[in-house]
């Protein structure tokens, strides 16, 4: 490990809020960060547009509508048209953000996303709200737990899954200033804020939020917090876990993933998504080519969601801190 790597990790960890020993952290929905970031993106660039499929309040486009009425369009419940309209506007130099629940966009509009957005390499950005089982009582029809899989397979598509509302705001701004089709995935329910305004963020650059050399827990989205809590509790057992915030699923930071495997010798992936073809599958693909090690996958296992309280569903589908700890112990055992 180079001295530069050590300093980079120290800088990332230094700018985290204190989550240890039962510390109470502020909680906000990641969608709030999207709304704040979109308003600022509109302030910076008059070509940034917001186009919504009748869910302005839920997706947090409502604030942009009020701040930039001339840059906002409402098309109603027509997700395929949402993508088609955005593609045309992008061709004129606009930077359209299109928003709906992730189950409907990209879920319902996937063919338009593939052909109009990605095949033509348009500068359209999808805001996929209410992703994961933590959408709660809305149930299986509204719980997008396959969206990372269907988006990461599309050529040219960026896929970003930030860990909290602060990082979601940064990701919104970064994607607004990066040319190309992109998918930003975020949730409805409140979740812990672990980063600060000073925490570094760069598309395609994974972050080490906790150092350790026994097992590397590679997580994305709101479950990064669960990974941090699990790692903190495992430390009392003498198991020192590295926690990597793998916020960019595509293009994934292959060097950081490979380095974690080389230095820890075992990996646990954690995502609020099907384990099949999700973020963890991409981690496995990278390591199969570069540095194979034992991998355990935490996520939904070939099931649909159901109605329930968000925390209840996270536990039911095996994505809580106890499940992460169990996976880390299994990975360590396989390593040994």
pLDDT in tens, 44-54: 999 999 999 99
Domain residue ranges of the chain, discontinuous segments joined by +: 3-25+198-335, 28-192
CA 244 to chain centre: 13
Same-fold call for 3-25+198-335 versus 28-192: yes
At residue 20, the pLDDT reads 78
What rounded mean pLDDT belongs to the chain? 95
- Alpha carbon distance 29, 25 (integer Å): 13
Q: Would residue 146 show up in a list of annotated catalytic residues for this protein? A: no
Strands 190-192, 27-29: pairing kind: antiparallel
Span 87-107, average pLDDT: 97
- Alpha carbon distance 167, 104 (integer Å): 24
- Alpha carbon distance 257, 154 (integer Å): 21
At residue 15, the pLDDT reads 77
At residue 120, the pLDDT reads 95
The residue behind tokens 């805001």 is 127
Residue 28 banded pLDDT, cuts 50, 70, 90: very high
Topology (CATH) of 28-192: Rossmann fold (3.40.50)
Residue 69's CB is within 10 A of a number of other CB atoms, namely 8
Topology (CATH) of 3-25+198-335: Rossmann fold (3.40.50)
pTM of the model: 0.95
Span 177-192, average pLDDT: 97
At residue 22, the pLDDT reads 62
At residue 24, the pLDDT reads 80
pLDDT in tens, 121-167: 999 999 999 999 999 999 999 999 999 999 999 999 999 999 999 99
Q: Hey, what's the torsion of the CAs at 47, 164, 78, 44, to 10 degrees? A: -10
Span 100-114, average pLDDT: 97
Span 314-319, average pLDDT: 97
Span 107-116, average pLDDT: 97
Among 79, 146, 189, 271, the one annotated catalytic? 79
At residue 12, the pLDDT reads 55
At residue 130, the pLDDT reads 97
Residue 3, pLDDT above cutoff 50: no
pLDDT in tens, 189-230: 999 999 999 999 999 999 999 999 999 999 999 999 999 999
- Alpha carbon distance 270, 242 (integer Å): 13
pLDDT in tens, 254-280: 999 999 999 999 999 999 999 999 999
């Amino acid at each position: 490990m180079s001295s530069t790597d050590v300093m980079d990790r120290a800088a990332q960890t230094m700018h985290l809020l204190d989550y240890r020993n039962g510390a109470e952290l502020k909680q906000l929905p990641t969608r709030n960060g999207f709304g704040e970031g979109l308003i600022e993106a509109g302030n910076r660039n008059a070509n940034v547009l917001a186009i919504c499929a009748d869910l302005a309040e839920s997706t947090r486009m409502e604030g942009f509508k009020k701040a930039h009425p001339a840059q906002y369009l409402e098309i109603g419940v027509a997700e395929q048209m949402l993508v088609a309209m955005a593609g045309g506007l992008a061709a004129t130099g606009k930077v359209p953000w299109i928003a709906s629940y992730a189950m409907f966009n990209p879920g319902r509009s996937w063919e338009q996303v593939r052909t109009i957005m990605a095949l033509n390499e348009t500068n359209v950005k999808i805001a996929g709200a209410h992703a994961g089982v933590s959408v709660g009582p809305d149930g299986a029809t509204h719980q997008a737990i396959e969206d990372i899989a269907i988006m990461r397979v599309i050529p040219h598509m960026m896929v970003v899954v930030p860990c909290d509302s602060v990082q979601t705001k940064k990701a919104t701004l970064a994607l607004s200033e990066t040319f190309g089709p992109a998918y930003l995935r975020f949730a409805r329910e409140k979740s812990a804020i672990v980063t600060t305004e000073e925490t570094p963020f760069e598309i395609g650059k994974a972050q080490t939020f906790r150092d350790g050399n026994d097992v590397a827990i590679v997580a994305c989205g709101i479950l990064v917090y669960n990974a941090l809590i699990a790692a903190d509790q495992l430390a009392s057992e003498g198991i020192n876990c590295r926690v990597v915030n793998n916020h960019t699923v595509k293009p994934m930071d292959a060097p950081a993933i490979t380095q974690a495997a080389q230095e820890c010798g075992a990996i646990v992936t954690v995502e609020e998504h099907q384990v099949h073809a999700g973020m963890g599958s991409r981690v496995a693909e990278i390591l199969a080519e570069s540095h194979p090690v034992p991998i355990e996958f935490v996520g939904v296992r070939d099931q649909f969601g159901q109605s329930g309280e968000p925390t209840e569903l996270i536990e039911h589908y095996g994505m809580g801190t106890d499940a992460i700890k169990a996976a880390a112990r299994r990975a360590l055992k396989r390593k040994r």
